[in-house]
Structure 1
Amino acid sequence: MPDVKTPIAPPDTEDYRHASTAQLVSADPARPVFVMANAGSGKTKVLIDRVARLLLRREDGRVGAAPDSILCITYTKAAANEMLSRLFRTLGKWSIMRDDKLREELSRLEGRPKDAYKTDDLRAARALFARALETPGGLRIETIHAFCARILRRFPLEAGVLPGFAEIEEDEAQAIWQAVRAQAVLNASEVAPEALNVLALEGGHDGADVALNAMRFQMSAYLDFAETHAFDQAAMRAALIEGLNAPEASPAEILELEMGSQMPVGALREALISLRASGKRDDTRTVNAVEAALYEEDPGRRWGCYKGAFFGAQGNAYKSLYNAEAGKDANVVALFATKDEIGSEVARVEALAAKLKLAETVERTSALLEVGLDALVAYQEEKRRRGALDFDDLIRKTRDLLTRTGMSDWVLYKLDGGISHILLDEAQDTSPEQWQLINALTEEFTAGIGAERQQDPRTLFVVGDEKQSIYSFQGAEPAQLRAQEQAYIQKDPAALSQTMEMSFRSSPEILGFVDAVWNSAPPVDIASGAQPPLTADEVTHTARRANQPGLVELWPVDERDEDEDADAWSRPVNALRSSSPKAQLASRLAKQLKAMVDRGETVWEELPTRDWQRRAMKPEDILILVRSRTGGLFDAMISALKSEGLPVAGADRLKLTDHIAVQDCLNLMRFALLPERDLTLAEILRGPFVGLVDDDRYLYRLASKRGKGETLWSHVRASDDPDVQAAERFLSGLLERRHEPPYEFLSRVLDVPGADDLTGWDKINARLGTPAHDPVEALLSRAQGFDATEPSSLQAFVAEMESKLVEIKRDLAAPEGKVRVMTVHGAKGLQAPVVVLPDTTAGPKSVSSAMFTVSDMPIWSPRKDSDIPAAEHERAVANAKSEEEFRRLLYVALTRAQDRLIIAGHWHGARPPGYHDRSWYALCSAAMSRFAEEADEDGIRRFGRVPPKDRDVFEESKAHSALPDWVFTPPRQAERQRRFGAPSSLLGRKTPVLAPFSQTRQARLRRGRIIHSLLEYLPALDPTARQAAADRYLSRLSDLTDSDRHEMNAAVFGILDAPDMQRLFRPGGRAEAAIVGSAPELPDGLIINGRVDRLVVTDDEVLIVDFKTDQPAPDSPDGVAETYRAQMAAYWAVLRRAYPGRTVRTALCWTDGPRLMFLPEEMLLEALKGAQSPV
């Protein structure tokens, strides 16, 4: 085995000193820097350090940069929010630090001696927090799209956009496109049927839609080409003919000539005599094809038969058209020779095939232009009519504003005095159009007045990594990063190029394996003239985490199970069979992960002291990465984890209408619109809002024995069952509100307590739990937006939700005690102690693009066998780039791992070895051979050591008090007279009636839900990760203002950071704890069914806490509302019975303050005395 040196860099090594120096130099605000940063090398820290140093006083006493002169561009909103949060956290700490601590911090940041910082310097550093907060518009840390929107709003007339334009998301843009596309096809069916037929024939089973959709994503190329030729169809066709050197005749005209008078029929018939006599395979194939062609009269069908004599199914020419016996006939040789002197018919057919490809390319592209340009123009006009810009418009119009319009000099002049420092994050994912925009902004940095500012130079900071460029579908071109670096350094000799190789994330074994995978990968085949692949560069990572060993595992690929598919007839169409390779791999992995957690296998954890120690692995330490959510493995993995009892976070992206809670809400609207829909009503009756889950007792009786014309709704109205009658009253209320706007309709259902004193939110949480919260909130947000822009109609809203592909992104960045399963793209920027790659055996995908640019002209070539030579070259280049990105995606996946990396794969293909020869698995297997040629007894090859178990590292910790058995025991079937009720039901008819449509109340309720959600999941996170998680969560709620976010953030962290609140979040505590039970103090037959915000159970005490967001909070328990007293009294009574021998206490935690208010036992008893059953 080759000697492979694993890179390790302890703190006192040259590698670490070099990494520290690289970070310090990169963060120096005095000069422009381009940084190429390996994964985990601390680029975000360097970027934040640079911003902080820009704001600080200069060494010579000059003031630092103004906050509004700094522009930091990030790739995603989440990255912008996290960066802003970390910067404010740094500045906030400075504002309250002691002098000595602050001097130490500034010295570490800038590399200057501590005694260099005078009192004025410290005073200025402390003031930065307030200075940044008071900056109009806030610090400019934003996405490129947000920046473009801000520029266009500042210069709408110069940019040619409507002042007050709206930014539309992709789903809304797609809806507009579908409408204009359908109209364009309809128009073409009347005025250009021939062109439409061409698209329908070439576009596959979806006809013209496929071609037009592809055209939309190359919109700029087609519109630019059309504008160059004044949208004149004849001129565009002539340009295509000239540029491609294509024949002027159409394919039909060419075939009419070539398959007619130019075809040597007599000579062919003579040759057939010799070919028939031979009877050999090649001769028979030629005979069959030529005879079929001679019988055909239509030139197109004749060509279809005739070319079969010369070309195979893939379009490849046959090496021989006849055998030796037939070759004795000179006529056969003269026509069909393929060696030495090419036969006349072979040469004619090859020339004809090439000529036809050119003519067909012109015909296809011309047809696409004739039909599609109308759709593209209509798409732009419809957006203009609505005053809307999509993401591409924001970039394109800002680029044009700064580079092409007559006003660009004026706009740049106005901006020139405002932007002095630009920082670009994730630069490898910046598209060429976006680079044009950045270049326009930085042009004056190196020329004119910009270059004269020697004492306070204007700077560009760019950080990226070509190896992590995985967003080509959004226009990213990684080669642009190096090109931009070289061009800028040529203009500004002061600019530096830095490399950051040290990883602060991963163990030495993982980094050594990553280097081996990248550097030992075979070169990608590239077309002649293409750029060399990025993998030509050697990659080296050094490890900061010395003496913290990790482990890389390569699992064997199990052979395919050849057992008969026994459940094929009964299994759902899209479900995997249990014996499928994907299902079996998912099961194996889930069992192994469960065993690792149960055994207490350890991972490394960094302590606040910056020391590291081992701790037992938790489910949230596991991150499983797949290439795609489709194909079955993603769902199989989640299902297998659930089967093993491991908590799993679910999908990171979710189609909104796929969630059952959203369908439950939409069903209420469907029923209100058409109560005769039996299936909809049946789903409502069994759903959370009604809850008649006993099919034999309810649904069967209601649905059976319906006469002709009778509906399920008519039987519900006629029922004398009290439970069904209660359901009928609820449903009748829906019918009465069928004319309400969607948002008001949903708000009343979700927020207003019903006859059982439970709100819709209570019922959803009780049935579906907290995972249903985000999808329903997203539905509410969609309804609110719909009310503002569309007719207030339930029918229209339901139709829109059913027709639009609305996806919600769930924030899985912060672990919540669950295993995460997500795509590699979704995991960009994340990390985990244990990373599993199960989706590794398939090869890179060939490009599906049918649109290519040849000689500055767009052409449409939907199939490989229809490619002209120029398109063949473009397709080969595109395939090479696709495989390069395929490998970069593997790099991103591998470098998410901190301590342990598990690489596995299911059987792929029909033959051994069960994986593609250019797959991730093949690359990893070749690399692993450098470290572990032989597998262990279990068939797994390992590099590194299996980590010790928890008991080998720690002493047994003090066990927390166990929850009582009743928590895990399903409730008995309730007796007829026993009823479930919310704690507020103790008030009976005294429950206050609230105005359901008050906007103030709606805003207050939503504020309360948001704060409750944050207080539910933030305590489970590491304290250092809470602020970033809160920022990410609040940033997703786009309708909140910045002041709303700051206020809610302050309310939440006022509780989390308060010393007297820490008892609420100690071990033994649970969030959203369900409380179900009865007590002697409660009315007979009443079973309390509710949830408490926080339940803390210790050996001698049970603490029940509910968070309250009322403003202002009462000064004493006497001021607590009666409903709150009844609620807490009910919980107190139930849990006092469940935990005999322990002190049960109740408290309200008011976010206004914050203040923890304990309720006296006498007050609770008094509330229970007046209790009355709602039955």
Structure 2
Amino acid sequence: MSNHFPKELIDRKAREKIIKEINRNILVEASAGSGKTSSLIHRMSALIKSGKFKVDEIAAITFTRKAAIELKERFQQKIEDSFRETEDEKEKGYLREALSNLEQCYLGTIHSFCARLLRERPIEAGLDPEFAELDDLDDTLLKEKAWERYLLNLKIKESPSLIHLEELGIKPSELADCYKTVCTYPEVKPAFQASPKPNLKEAIKEIISFSDEASQYIPDEEPKMGYDKLQEAVLSVKRMKGFYDYIKEDYNKIKLLENFSKSEKVTLNRWTSKEKAKEYRDSLSLELQEKVINPTLKQWREYCYAYTIKFVLPAVEYYHELRQKVSMLNFQDLLLKASCLLRDYPEVRQYFQQKYKCLLVDEFQDTDPIQAEIIFYLTGQDVYEKNWQKLIPRPGSLFVVGDPQQSIYRFRRADIAIYNLVKGLIEKSGGEVLKLQANFRSLHSIGSYLNPIFEELFSSGQGKFQAVYSPMQTVWEDNSQNFTGVKQLIISKERNKNDTIRQDAQSIARIIRDMVDKGFKLVRTEEEIKAGISTLVTYKDFMILLRYKGGMDIYARILAEYGIPFTVSGYTSLNESQQIKELLKLFRLMKDIENQVLIIAVLRGIFFGFSDDDLYQFKGAGGEFDFYEKIPEKLNLKLRENFDRAFYRLRQFHLWTQKLPPVTAMEKIIIDSGLLSHSCLEGYNLNKCGELYSILERLRKAEAGEVIGFALMVDQLEKMLEAGVEEELDILTEENTVRIMNLHKAKGLESPVVFLAIPYNPTTHEPTYYIERTGQEPYGHF
């Protein structure tokens, strides 16, 4: 980027207001790269310098713990710089006091903040003072435990609700995702009403009539490439016509109708009459779907919806009771309990308002809707008003920063409609909305390339659920003599998706390898030059950005092949880790040593690496897949020695599981097997052993609880992996590495060279649920 900085910023006045108008509530809409966090720090510094608030009266809410650490460091640096620079003795005094009491300033996540409020006033909140906090994994496991117990109790009691669900053709397992979604929104009341049952008999008559006619044009002998979808649907009706008992059940009628709803594909040359097949494809089949099939299925699903929600709600309540019983709160509980505490107890609200006189909130577009209630209760002038939307914040008590265009965490309860509501409330109460548009992160070439794309995307869906388009106003000019701009890597699309991804990864790796080896130069900012950063490109200048987690391992392996150090940063699902899968096989074998399938899998895996031919020779020589049996003498010497070593180690591992506490045995196996050292070195990825430490930490926690014995500990590990909860594993990092990360983790970060990886079109899908929060009570359509 160029060092030519514009003399006049497009949003200079807005930036000045952030510092000067300290008696006014402000919401800052800060575009990408415009300095959201910087604006928050400048505001905090201005509040301290003015003497309006002491540092312990300020609370700054961040989206992640990592962001809180960064904010704390930058805030301290800003206060120190201001203390050195100011000549005003009064300001110096305020800043000196702030430096002395910096630890008293709350800087952290909303969940930690709520936990702090609840621990200070647990009695009014109706909580056990010793309540514990559930993290994501423990919460997921408890949620699944509650669901399994609920279903088991229904089966034992032969519950009518379970029987009715089966009559509707719905398996309880199919409602697991619905149950989890409703659990995620405990404050939302599911909206449902009884719908009339559709006339399935008439719909079945229609498809029978259609099938009778269409079957005349279906060949008796199945075509070489198989029947097409419509033919399969017709034949399914033909087969079932004679089975009255089958068709009289509603769920079987629905199955037949669903076959036709998926029968769009008609292959003309598989019918005896192409003309008739074309007629079915272009009109008759579509007419049947539009007039009969789809309306009937829609009515059926609406009819079933009320019953499914009624079936799920007791499980949600049971899960809530289970948490209460063990005095544990998940993240939603922390927010809801804090909100209710502040809403229902005016004296408590007044107490905390005196303690935290100013709230500053970062990344507000991605925070939980309940957070809006909490910040308005803590800043609202009327401590007796229970409706948070009617509260007017005290002047200068609220400062919110966000960017609706970067709202990407809806799957974590973020709600852009609430952001827009808060924005309106701040304006209505005399506050101001300021826009920061100057982008300090990107070059003009980036802005000119992306702005037309963003304008089209955002303009196509404007409304209360979509952000208003705001162009990226880049301030840095390109330098034609340096590596700048947007480049395209053209690769061929392979039949196999992973082959295409592998080709993309190889192209990226070659570019990185070439740029580093040939000493490409990047233009640095004045700040970077002052910090002694060389213009020569290094590995840390590169970021590989993926939309999803899938495929990260391919890019990692290819970088390793090219000798490029890398770090896979951010959230990863442990159940996707190959080394964890191999470890689980080994632990399962230690739990069930007579399982020959498992012992073969372990011998073939990363721990011992026997080939299929080695195993064949072993078996052919009379060997038994039991590591307590002897190795056959007629096996060749080298192979016999290899099997002898492998069986000895497996016996040693098994002995540890019998003699030592479960987690101690697991840790010794991980270390002695070489998995720990291998995971830290393999593939140049310095983060891999973080997965193992995370697993051990979780299992120790379970061992301290109710999980006793090695077998139960292995079961616990399997449940943890099945839960698929994402863990943030940044335990080991190295300064000079290429970063591989997904979109959500990369938010707010920057890199001189960014590769947008995985060359596949993004998928789109219909919303699976909708939350309405405009009234007094939120309603959900799940």
Does residue 553 in structure 1 map to residue 486 in structure 2?
A: yes
Q: Deviations over 1:126-162 (max 9, x none)?
A: 34322223x3xxx211111111111222222322333
8 Å CA contact 1:672, 1:735 repeated in 2? no
145, 162, 166: which one aligns with 1:197: 166
304, 311, 326: which one aligns with 1:386: 326
Deviation at 1:394, TM superposition (A): 1.6
Distance 1:471 1:305 in 2: 36
8 Å CA contact 2:200, 2:296 repeated in 1? no
Deviation at 1:746, TM superposition (A): 5.2
Alignment of 1:725-736 (within 5 A): 728=648, 732=652, 735=655
TM-score, with normalisation over the residues of structure 1?
Answer: 0.53
Does residue 431 in structure 1 map to residue 368 in structure 2?
A: yes
Distance 2:362 2:399 in 1: 8
Distance 1:779 1:303 in 2: 47
What does residue 437 of structure 2 align with? Answer: 501
8 Å CA contact 1:425, 1:463 repeated in 2? yes
Deviation at 1:559, TM superposition (A): 5.0
Structure with greater proportional helix content: 2
What does residue 588 of structure 1 align with? Answer: 507
99, 109, 113: which one aligns with 1:143: 109
816, 823, 827: which one aligns with 2:735: 816
How many positions carry a matched residue from both structures?
Answer: 722
Distance 2:760 2:611 in 1: 46
181, 196, 216: which one aligns with 1:217: 181
Q: Greater shift after overlay, 22-31 or 603-612?
A: 603-612
Deviation at 1:777, TM superposition (A): 2.4
What does residue 516 of structure 1 align with? Answer: 452
Alignment of 1:95-110 (within 5 A): 102-103=84-85, 106=86
Does residue 713 in structure 1 map to residue 679 in structure 2?
A: no
Query: Does the C-alpha gap of structure 1 residues 460 and 257 become closer, same or farther in structure 2, counting only changes over 3 Å?
Result: same
Deviation at 1:742, TM superposition (A): 3.4
695, 706, 715: which one aligns with 1:779: 695
8 Å CA contact 1:195, 1:371 repeated in 2? no
Q: Deviations over 1:1074-1093 (max 9, x none)?
A: xxxxxxxxxxxxxxxxxxxx
Distance 1:194 1:609 in 2: 68
237, 240, 256: which one aligns with 2:193: 240
Task: Return the letter of the residue paired with 1:390.
Answer: N
713, 719, 737: which one aligns with 1:797: 713
SS at match of 2:28: strand
Does residue 402 in structure 1 map to residue 330 in structure 2?
A: no
Q: Deviations over 1:651-691 (max 9, x none)?
A: 64444466566578767766765555678778989999xx9
What does residue 25 of structure 1 align with? Answer: 17
364, 367, 380: which one aligns with 2:304: 364
Query: Does the C-alpha gap of structure 1 residues 402 and 703 become closer, same or farther in structure 2, counting only changes over 3 Å?
Result: farther
112, 129, 143: which one aligns with 2:99: 129
What does residue 419 of structure 1 align with? Answer: 356
Query: Does the C-alpha gap of structure 1 residues 306 and 614 become closer, same or farther in structure 2, counting only changes over 3 Å?
Result: closer
8 Å CA contact 1:501, 1:541 repeated in 2? yes
8 Å CA contact 1:813, 1:830 repeated in 2? no
Query: Does the C-alpha gap of structure 1 residues 739 and 158 become closer, same or farther in structure 2, counting only changes over 3 Å?
Result: farther
What does residue 222 of structure 2 align with? Answer: none
Q: Deviations over 1:297-325 (max 9, x none)?
A: 6576998799899999579xxxxxxxxxx
Does residue 636 in structure 1 map to residue 554 in structure 2?
A: yes
Query: Does the C-alpha gap of structure 1 residues 685 and 218 become closer, same or farther in structure 2, counting only changes over 3 Å?
Result: closer
Query: Does the C-alpha gap of structure 1 residues 514 and 434 become closer, same or farther in structure 2, counting only changes over 3 Å?
Result: same
What does residue 162 of structure 1 align with? Answer: 128
What does residue 839 of structure 1 align with? Answer: 758
Distance 2:733 2:405 in 1: 25
8 Å CA contact 1:625, 1:823 repeated in 2? yes
Query: Does the C-alpha gap of structure 1 residues 514 and 550 become closer, same or farther in structure 2, counting only changes over 3 Å?
Result: farther
Gaps of 5+ in 1: 1-6, 96-101, 107-113, 227-235, 277-283, 316-337, 339-345, 449-455, 563-575, 861-1175
8 Å CA contact 1:222, 1:858 repeated in 2? no
Q: Greater shift after overlay, 511-520 or 726-735?
A: 726-735
Q: Deviations over 1:490-527 (max 9, x none)?
A: 21x2x23221111221122112222232235584268x
73, 79, 83: which one aligns with 2:61: 73
Deviation at 1:839, TM superposition (A): 3.3
Deviation at 1:592, TM superposition (A): 2.8
Task: Return the letter of the residue paired with 1:437.
Answer: I
Distance 1:684 1:772 in 2: 20
Task: Return the letter of the residue paired with 1:191.
Answer: S
Distance 1:791 1:25 in 2: 57
Deviation at 1:828, TM superposition (A): 0.8
Query: Does the C-alpha gap of structure 1 residues 847 and 416 become closer, same or farther in structure 2, counting only changes over 3 Å?
Result: same
Query: Does the C-alpha gap of structure 1 residues 51 and 666 become closer, same or farther in structure 2, counting only changes over 3 Å?
Result: same
Distance 1:394 1:19 in 2: 38
Alignment of 1:1101-1120 (within 5 A): none
Q: Which has the higher contact order (CA 8 A, sep 6+)?
A: 2
8 Å CA contact 1:515, 1:540 repeated in 2? yes
8 Å CA contact 1:625, 1:836 repeated in 2? yes
Task: Return the letter of the residue paired with 2:15.
Answer: Q
SS at match of 2:567: coil
What does residue 489 of structure 1 align with? Answer: 427
Query: Does the C-alpha gap of structure 1 residues 814 and 520 become closer, same or farther in structure 2, counting only changes over 3 Å?
Result: farther
8 Å CA contact 1:36, 1:463 repeated in 2? yes
Does residue 615 in structure 1 map to residue 560 in structure 2?
A: no
71, 77, 96: which one aligns with 1:83: 71
8 Å CA contact 1:740, 1:793 repeated in 2? no
Q: Deviations over 1:412-468 (max 9, x none)?
A: 1221211110001001112332212222222128999xxxxxxx9542111111111
Query: Does the C-alpha gap of structure 1 residues 314 and 167 become closer, same or farther in structure 2, counting only changes over 3 Å?
Result: farther
565, 569, 592: which one aligns with 1:647: 565
8 Å CA contact 1:168, 1:391 repeated in 2? yes
Report % sequence identity: 21
Distance 1:223 1:72 in 2: 25
Query: Does the C-alpha gap of structure 1 residues 507 and 420 become closer, same or farther in structure 2, counting only changes over 3 Å?
Result: same
8 Å CA contact 1:665, 1:746 repeated in 2? no
Deviation at 1:401, TM superposition (A): 2.5
Query: Does the C-alpha gap of structure 1 residues 655 and 352 become closer, same or farther in structure 2, counting only changes over 3 Å?
Result: closer
Gaps of 5+ in 2: 217-229, 266-282, 386-393
| Cα RMSD for the two superposed structures | 5.3
Distance 2:610 2:555 in 1: 32
Deviation at 1:765, TM superposition (A): 6.1
Deviation at 1:729, TM superposition (A): 8.7
SS at match of 1:639: helix
Task: Return the letter of the residue paired with 1:543.
Answer: V
Query: Does the C-alpha gap of structure 1 residues 481 and 550 become closer, same or farther in structure 2, counting only changes over 3 Å?
Result: farther
SS at match of 1:515: helix
Deviation at 1:173, TM superposition (A): 1.8
Q: Deviations over 1:561-589 (max 9, x none)?
A: 57xxxxxxxxxxxxx578x4333333333
Deviation at 1:819, TM superposition (A): 1.8
39, 43, 59: which one aligns with 1:46: 39
Q: Greater shift after overlay, 84-93 or 722-731?
A: 722-731
Query: Does the C-alpha gap of structure 1 residues 208 and 222 become closer, same or farther in structure 2, counting only changes over 3 Å?
Result: farther
Deviation at 1:610, TM superposition (A): 6.1
Deviation at 1:370, TM superposition (A): 3.7
8 Å CA contact 2:257, 2:297 repeated in 1? no
Alignment of 1:281-292 (within 5 A): none
8 Å CA contact 2:134, 2:331 repeated in 1? yes
Deviation at 1:181, TM superposition (A): 1.9
Distance 1:781 1:722 in 2: 33
